[in-house]
C-alpha cells in the first residue's frame, strides 16, 4: 500500500480564497510567515547531505499547528503570484508555476503524515483533529479559486495546448480536471457545501483512524504455558516480548494486529483461544464502545454521496473511478465478478479438505473462520508435505532485506549503502543511500520494520520527498514501514512466508519511487492511477521465489545453510494452494467497498449492509472480509482507496501478464525485459498513460486470463 502524504500539486499550492489580496495584507502575511519559518524546522528547507534530509532530530509536536498556519501564508504568496500575473496565461506561468508552489507545505505535510502514522501518541491525536480539517479547507480554497481556475482554463482551452509535449498535455489535463472534479464550476452555495463536507470528512477520517489504533493497542492474554501448544518458538518469544511491553513479564500476549493475530490463528492448538484472538481482531472498531466506528462510517458515506451529486456524479463510486484505469464502476465490478464464482468454488474444495482432516483427527468441529488458517496449514502439510514451520528458520528479516537489495541491483543497477548521517524519528529506523550503476546518488531508503504503540498496523510505503527535475535534480526519499514483532534481544527476527511476500511488495512501491525519472513532481513515482500503483509492487513479489534469491538469501539463521531444494520444490508446488481463501477474503472487502459507494445517499447500517451484501453474494461462512467495514482504514481513514479496493485485483491482472513476459524471456533477470519494465513502467510515473506504458512494455494490451492462470483457476 502507498501512503501519499502530499496528495497533489494543486493540493499543495494552497490558495486562501478567491478574494483579492491587498499589498498590505500580503506584506503582513509574508512577514508573519517568515518569522515563524525562521524558528520552525518543519518549514525550513531540508539541509545536510543527499540534497537535504528530513530534520527528525529537530521536530517538536508543539510546532505542527503554527507551522501549518505559517505554511498557508507562504503558499498564499505563491498562488497570488500566479493569479496576479498580468501576462497571458501559459503553461509555464500557470501550470508549471503551480507545480513549483507550496514547497514549505509539501515538506510539512510529508513530515506530519509520517509522524502521525508512526508516532501517534501523546498530543498527536489532538493535533490531527486540528491539522487535517485545516488542510481540507485549504484544498477546497485552491479548487474554488476563480482567478486560478480561469488561468488554468485559459491554458486548457488555448491554441498553444497542441504545441505542448505529451507529458505537458497530460499534466495540464490533470490540473484542469482536478479543478472541475472538485467543484470549480459550482455556484457559491455549492462550493460552500463542498468545503463543509470536506472539512467534516477530514475530521471523521482522523477519528476513524484513532479509534482503530486504540483497538489495535489491546492484547489477548495467554496465562498458561500449555496454551502455547502448537506455536513455533519464535512466535512465543514475540508474545513474551509483547507481554513484557504491556507490564506483565513472564506472561504471553497477542497484539491485536494482523502481524500478531495471523500466526497465532495458524498454529495455536487451543481452539477457544483461537476464537478469542479472532473475535478481538475482526471486531476492531465494532464493539459498541467509544471506539466504535459504525456511526463514523454511516456519516462518511452520506457525505461522500452528497458531494458526488453536487459535482454531477450519480454516486461516489462513479466520481472516484473516473480518473482510474477502470474508468467506470461497471468495469471494476465485471473483473471482480469474473473471478468471484471461481474463487468461491475453490473455497468449497478447501473447506472440504479441511473438514476431512478435522474428522480424521477426531475433532468434533465444523470449520469456522477461526479454524481456517489452522486447518489450512494441516492440509498444506498433508497435500504438499509442506510445513512452513520448517521454512521459517530460513526467513531472516535482514537476509530477506539483502535479497531485495540484490534483486534490485540485478534489475535496475542499484546498490545500497547504510548511512548514519541522516536523523531518524525512532532508533529502530535505519537509512540507506541508493546508488545507480554509474555510482551517482539515486535517493534514500528508510526502513522502519517493527511494531510500536502509536504506529498504524500493516505495511506500507511512503515518500518523504518525491523525485522531480522542475526545481532542480531532486532525489527521492522513500520509506518502507512494517509491523514485525521483535523476538529475544540479539537474535535474528524470523518472519513468515506471507510476511516476506509483503516485504517484497512494499519494496516494489519504494523501487517505483526510486526509479522515477520525470520533470514534474505530481507525475513522479507512485503518483499514478490507484488501480495501477499496485502493479509494480505486486510484480516485485515474484522475485522472492526466484532461485537466485532463494539460494542466496533464504539461509538458516543458525547454520547458514540455504533452504533445502526439497522445501523449495514444495513451496513452488503449493504456489496456488489456498488461493480460494486468499481471493475470497480480499474480494469480500473489495465488493462491499464498491457496493457501499454505489448505494448513493441511502441510510446505511454498516454492520447490516456488510452482512446482507455478503449473503446476497453467497459468501462462504467460513471466511470474513480481509478488512471488515468498521476497521477498513483503506477506505475510511481517508479516500485513498475508497471505491477503489478493487484496484489490487485490477493491478494483479496486469502483474500476472507482466510476470509471464519474464517467463517467456526465460528468466526474471532477463536484461531486455527488465529494461522495458524500467523504461515504460518504473521510471515514467504518470507522464504517460499507464495503458500506453504497458503496451510498450508487453507489446499488446493486458491479457486478463493470465490472472486466472496465475491463481490456478479455470480460464473461461
The C-alpha angle with vertex 443 and arms to 511 and 682, in degrees rounded to 5, equals: 30
Residue 635 scores a pLDDT above 70: yes
Single residue among 282, 304, 324 that ends a domain in this structure: 282
Give the pLDDT of residue 76: 86
Distances from the Cα of 247 to the Cα of 243, 251, 456, angstroms: 6, 9, 21
Residue 429, SS3 per DSSP: coil
Q: Coil, helix or strand for 366?
A: coil
Q: What does the pLDDT average to over 305-316?
A: 98
- Whether 551 is covered by a domain: the verdict is no
Say what the pLDDT of residue 36 is: 56
Q: Which residue among the candidates 506, 585, 610, 622 is catalytic per the annotation?
A: 506
Please report where in the chains the cell 547458514 appears, as a residue: 560
Check whether 10 has a pLDDT greater than 50.
Answer: no
Pull the grid cell for residue 539. Answer: 510484480
Q: Give the tens place of pLDDT for each residue, 55-97.
A: 999 999 999 999 999 998 899 889 999 999 999 999 999 999 9
Strand partners, 253: 221
Please give the pLDDT value at position 39. Answer: 73
The parent domain of residue 276 ranges over 219-282
| Residue 458, C-beta contacts closer than 8 angstroms, at least 6 positions apart | 1, 257, 258, 259, 483
- Does residue 559 belong to any structural domain of this protein? no
Check whether residue 30 and residue 121 sit in a common domain. yes
Whole-number Cα distances in Å, 300 to 455, 608, 622: 24, 16, 29
Inside any domain, residue 230: yes
Asked if pLDDT for residue 360 goes beyond 80, the answer is yes
Q: How many Å apart are CA 475 and CA 478, to the nearest integer?
A: 10
Mind listing the pLDDT tens digit for each residue in 650-694? 999 999 999 999 999 999 999 999 999 999 999 999 999 999 999
% of the chain exceeding 70 in pLDDT = 95
Length of the chain: 716
pLDDT over 50 (residue 7)? no
For residue 490, pLDDT beyond 90: no
| pLDDT tens digit sequence for 559-616 | 999 999 999 999 999 999 999 999 999 999 999 999 999 999 999 999 999 999 999 9
Q: Domain boundary at 162, 185, 208, which?
A: 185
Q: Catalytic site residue 291?
A: no
Place of cell 465478478: 337
Asked if the structure places residue 383 within a domain, the reply is no
Q: Count of domains in the chain?
A: 3
Alpha-carbon distance 516 to 524, whole Å? Answer: 6
CA 178 to chain CA mean position, Å: 22
- Residue carrying the nine cell digits 474480494: 587
Is residue 507 domain-resident? yes
Mark whether 95 and 141 lie in a shared domain. Answer: yes
Cell of 557: 539463521
Q: Residues 32, 159: one domain?
A: yes
Banded pLDDT at 139 (limits 50, 70, 90): confident
How far are the Cα atoms of 139, 303, 308, 309, 590 from residue 609, in angstroms, in the given order? 32, 17, 21, 22, 14
Q: Are 195 and 140 in contact (CB under 8 A)?
A: yes
Same domain for 233 and 171: no
What is the per-residue pLDDT for 457? 84
Q: How far is CA 19 from the centre of its chain?
A: 37
Handedness of CA 10, 16, 20, 24 (dihedral sign): negative
CB 336 within 8 A of CB 594: yes
Give me the chain's average pLDDT, please: 93
Is there a domain that residue 446 lies in? yes
**Residues 235 and 105 occupy one common structural domain:** no
Whether residues 240 and 180 share a domain: the answer is no
DSSP strand E in 429-525: where?
Answer: 430-435, 441-450, 460-465, 477-484
The pTM for the full model equals 0.89
Give the other-Cβ count within 10 Å of 203's Cβ: 16
CA 67-422-508 angle, 5° bins:
95
- Model confidence at 19: pLDDT above 50: no
Amino acid at each position: 500500500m502507498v501512503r501519499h502524504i502530499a496528495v497533489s500539486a494543486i493540493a499543495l499550492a494552497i490558495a486562501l480564497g478567491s478574494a483579492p489580496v491587498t499589498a498590505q495584507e500580503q506584506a503582513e502575511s509574508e512577514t508573519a510567515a517568515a518569522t515563524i519559518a525562521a524558528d520552525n524546522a518543519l518549514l525550513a528547507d531540508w539541509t545536510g547531505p543527499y540534497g537535504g534530509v528530513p530534520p527528525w532530530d529537530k521536530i517538536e509536536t508543539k510546532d505542527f499547528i503554527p507551522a501549518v498556519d505559517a505554511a498557508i501564508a507562504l503558499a498564499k504568496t505563491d498562488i497570488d503570484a500566479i493569479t496576479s500575473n498580468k501576462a497571458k496565461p501559459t503553461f509555464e506561468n500557470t501550470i508549471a508555476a503551480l507545480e513549483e508552489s507550496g514547497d514549505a507545505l509539501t515538506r510539512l505535510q510529508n513530515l506530519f503524515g509520517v509522524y502521525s502514522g508512526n508516532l501517534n501518541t501523546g498530543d498527536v491525536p489532538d493535533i490531527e483533529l486540528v491539522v487535517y480539517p485545516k488542510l481540507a479547507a485549504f484544498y477546497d480554497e485552491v479548487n474554488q479559486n476563480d482567478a486560478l481556475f480561469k488561468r488554468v482554463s485559459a491554458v486548457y482551452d488555448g491554441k498553444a495546448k497542441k504545441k505542448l509535449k505529451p507529458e505537458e498535455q497530460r499534466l495540464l489535463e490533470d490540473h484542469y480536471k482536478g479543478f472541475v472534479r472538485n467543484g470549480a464550476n459550482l455556484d457559491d452555495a455549492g462550493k460552500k457545501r463542498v468545503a463543509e463536507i470536506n472539512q467534516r470528512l477530514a475530521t471523521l477520517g482522523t477519528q476513524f483512524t484513532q479509534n482503530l489504533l486504540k483497538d489495535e493497542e489491546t492484547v489477548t492474554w495467554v496465562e498458561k504455558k500449555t496454551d502455547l501448544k502448537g506455536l513455533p518458538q519464535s512466535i512465543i518469544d514475540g508474545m513474551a516480548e509483547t507481554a513484557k511491553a504491556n507490564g506483565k513479564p513472564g506472561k504471553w500476549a497477542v497484539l491485536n494486529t494482523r502481524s500478531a493475530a495471523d500466526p497465532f490463528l495458524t498454529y495455536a492448538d487451543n481452539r477457544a483461544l483461537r476464537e478469542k484472538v479472532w473475535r478481538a481482531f475482526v471486531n476492531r472498531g465494532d464493539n459498541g464502545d467509544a471506539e466504535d466506528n459504525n456511526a463514523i462510517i454511516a456519516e462518511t458515506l452520506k457525505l461522500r454521496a452528497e458531494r458526488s451529486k453536487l459535482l454531477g456524479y450519480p454516486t461516489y463510486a462513479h466520481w472516484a473511478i473516473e480518473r482510474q484505469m477502470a474508468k467506470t464502476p461497471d468495469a471494476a465490478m465485471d473483473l471482480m465478478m469474473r473471478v468471484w464464482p471461481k474463487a468461491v468454488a475453490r473455497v468449497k474444495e478447501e473447506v472440504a479438505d479441511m473438514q476431512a482432516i478435522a474428522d480424521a483427527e477426531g475433532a468434533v468441529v465444523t470449520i469456522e473462520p477461526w479454524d481456517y488458517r489452522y486447518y489450512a496449514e494441516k492440509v498444506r502439510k498433508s497435500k504438499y508435505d509442506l510445513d512452513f514451520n520448517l521454512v521459517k528458520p530460513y526467513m531472516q528479516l535482514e537476509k530477506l532485506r539483502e535479497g531485495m537489495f540484490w534483486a534490485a541491483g540485478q534489475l535496475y543497477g542499484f546498490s545500497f549503502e547504510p548511512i548514519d548521517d541522516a536523523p531518524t524519528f525512532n532508533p529502530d529506523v535505519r537509512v540507506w543511500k541508493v546508488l545507480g550503476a554509474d555510482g551517482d546518488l539515486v535517493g534514500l531508503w528508510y526502513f522502519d520494520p517493527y511494531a510500536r504503540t502509536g504506529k498504524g498496523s500493516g505495511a506500507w510505503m511512503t515518500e518523504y520527498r518525491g523525485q522531480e527535475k522542475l526545481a532542480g535534480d531532486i532525489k527521492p526519499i522513500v520509506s518502507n514501514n512494517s509491523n514485525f514483532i521483535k523476538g529475544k534481544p540479539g537474535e535474528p527476527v524470523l518472519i513468515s512466508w506471507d510476511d516476506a511476500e509483503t516485504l517484497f511488495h512494499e519494496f516494489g512501491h519504494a523501487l517505483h519511487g526510486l526509479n522515477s525519472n520525470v520533470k514534474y513532481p505530481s507525475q513522479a513515482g507512485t503518483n499514478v492511477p490507484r488501480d495501477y500503483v499496485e502493479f509494480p509492487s505486486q510484480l516485485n513479489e515474484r522475485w522472492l521465489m526466484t532461485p537466485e534469491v532463494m539460494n542466496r538469501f533464504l539461509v538458516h539463521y543458525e547454520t547458514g545453510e540455504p533452504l533445502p531444494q526439497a522445501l523449495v520444490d514444495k513451496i513452488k508446488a503449493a504456489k496456488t494452494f489456498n488461493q480460494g481463501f486468499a481471493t475470497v477474503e480480499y474480494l469480500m472487502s473489495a465488493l462491499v467497498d464498491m457496493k457501499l459507494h454505489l448505494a448513493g445517499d441511502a441510510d446505511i447500517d454498516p454492520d447490516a449492509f456488510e452482512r446482507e451484501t455478503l449473503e446476497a453474494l453467497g459468501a462462504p461462512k467460513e471466511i470474513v472480509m480481509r478488512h471488515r467495514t468498521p476497521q477498513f482504514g483503506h477506505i475510511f481513514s481517508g479516500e485513498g482507496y475508497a471505491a477503489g479496493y478493487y484496484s489490487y485485483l485490477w493491478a494483479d491482472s496486469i502483474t500476472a501478464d507482466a510476470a509471464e513476459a519474464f517467463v517467456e524471456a526465460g528468466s526474471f533477470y532477463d536484461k531486455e525485459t527488465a529494461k522495458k519494465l524500467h523504461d515504460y513502467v518504473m521510471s515514467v510515473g504518470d507522464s504517460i498513460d499507464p495503458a500506453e506504458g504497458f503496451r510498450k512494455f508487453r507489446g499488446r494490451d493486458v491479457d486478463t486470463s493470465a490472472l486466472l492462470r496465475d491463481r490456478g483457476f479455470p480460464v473461461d
